[in-house]
Amino acid sequence: MGLRGAWGVGAVLALALSACEAPVALHQEEVPPRLHRFGPQGVEVLPAEGPPLRLTVALHRRGQEVQAVLRSEGVRAEGVVLLLLEGNGVRLEESGTGGFLQVRGAVPPPACAHWTLALSPDDPEEETMEVRFYQAQGMLCEEER
């Protein structure tokens, strides 16, 4: 099994394990597409037609071990996804290019997940003055700080 296959198996295992336990915190939202039009006056951001991106961020805890899981569904899109897990001076982060990302480690309570994503369903090889993007950012904590 190559490296790519090992990552796929790890993602499936993480999904299966996180599905077994209820999250201690959960965020779900639908992110609408936005059209970024590049012109001589700069970038104009407009609403775009298309289905929303379904975004789910969950925090799972077992003892000192915390797992933050970010999943986007409903639209095939690639770009940049950043996920940060922190709590009481511990900071763990992960980055990726698509629909699934996780960070896990020993984090004292209360743990928080911070995320930002910019994903596009458009072909990056195509030269154009307009690009559709799904953009979201947020924070989710085990309890109020």
Q: Mean per-residue pLDDT for 96-114? A: 94
Look at residue 128 in the predicted model and tell me its pLDDT: 83
3-state SS class at 6: helix
Q: Which of 50, 57, 95, 100 is nearest to 75 (CA)?
A: 50
Structure confidence at residue 124 (pLDDT): 77
For the chain, which domains are there? Answer: 3-141 (2.60.40)
Enter the pTM of the model: 0.80
pLDDT at residue 20, rounded to an integer: 58
Whether the per-residue pLDDT at 67 is higher than 60: the answer is yes
H or E element in which residue 121 lies: none
Distance CA 89, CA 75 (A): 36
Q: Average pLDDT over the chain, rounded to whole? A: 87
pLDDT digits (tens, 9 = 90+) for 117-133: 999 999 877 788 999 99
